[in-house]
Chains A and B, each alone.
Chain A
Amino acid sequence: MPASSSLTCLIVDDQQTIRSLVRTGLQQLGFRNIFDAPDGEDGLRQMLARPVHLVISDYNMPKLDGLGLLRAIRSHPPIQKTAFIMLTGRADKELVQRAVQFGVNNYLVKPFTVQTLKEKIEAIFGVLA
């Protein structure tokens, strides 16, 4: 049973509003070490400098989108096992299927509740303490 306070998370989304919402949700779940990035390129740069346990990333982003970020992470051995949750604007099954091919761990359709966020994280890490 991992303690959420011991998990580090990177939120990648080009919208500040969404980053704030996800951050607030994670804080409600007990996360303390939360970082964020406005696009996949910045997110990857941050991860290579400071690996995290979990990435929660939007799909639609400039420079490097969510799928590109996922592929880049899976191709960099030091960070390739990082848990990855893809945020999608709608229930886009084609996108989810492509993300599955690239090794996504789970996905989250916006808008979501904190409970849904918790369930998606627990599906990867087990029940959070």
Chain B
Amino acid sequence: MSHAASDDSPGVERKIHVIQGEFHVAEGDDVMLTTILGSCVAACMRDPKARVGGMNHFLLPGATGDEGLRYGVQSMELLVNALLRRGARRERLEVKLFGGAHLFDGLSDVGAQNSEFGERFLRDEGLSYHGGSLRGERARRIQYWPGSGRARQILLAPAETTVFAAERRPTATPVVDSGGLELF
């Protein structure tokens, strides 16, 4: 769930920005993960017992294509697996979803599709949904502390979409190798 924007987070030493098509896993109370979302969705996940958490940032729902982390299925799987490798247990994962805004009229509502994908993914995978903030018409800045599970949402003013636009730079070439090492 988003929280009020009072800055009661002294001691944050490491701030990690998660850009489009990436994910990051961290542990400890001194880490804050942050991202800026328009129609994209970010899942913030943590295992409170293992005290490890992470955030992803995907652009499109589904799984088709070879664009890797841009797509929700791949992005979610890699985040979940990265958490499991760090000692998290699937049944203990707490997930918050943010983003999925409909920013521009006249375009297909990718934000709604991303939101529906995120919610459906949690249902299908039996992951525990701990709230968040989806859809709407404003871009958001999200801050997430994986150590505590606390999240903060800051809605961007329409005039601040230039910040958001700057965020929408092209992603690096995805890591896709469907045959680089052919066995037979």
Contact = CB atoms under 8 A, between A and B. Distances in A.
**A complexed with B:** yes
Given A21-B63, A89-B78, A111 B180 contact: no
Contact of B183 (A15, A104, A113): A104
A60 B125 contact: no
A109 B125 contact: no
A15 B180 CA distance: 25
Contacts of A104: 183
Contacts of A90: 78, 175, 177
Given A90-B175, A91-B177, A111 B66 contact: yes
Interface residues of chain A: helix, strand, loop or mixed (majority): mixed
Interface stretch (B8-16, B68-76, B97-105, B165-173): B68-76
Q: How large is the interface on A (under 10, 10 to 19, 20 to 34, 35 or more residues)?
A: 20 to 34
Contacts of A119: 179
A100 interface: yes
A74 B30 CA distance: 46
Contacts of A113: 64-66, 178
Contacts of B63: 17, 21, 111
Nearest to B72: A17
Contact of B178 (A93, A105, A109): A109
Interface string B151-184: 0000000000000000000000001111111111
B80 A110 contact: no
A111 B176 contact: yes
B125 A111 contact: no
A36 interface: no
B76 to A, nearest CB: 8
Interface of A: 14-18, 20-21, 60, 62, 89-91, 93, 96, 100, 104-113, 116, 119, 123-124
Interface of B: 63-68, 71, 73-74, 76-78, 80-81, 84-85, 90, 121, 124-126, 175-184
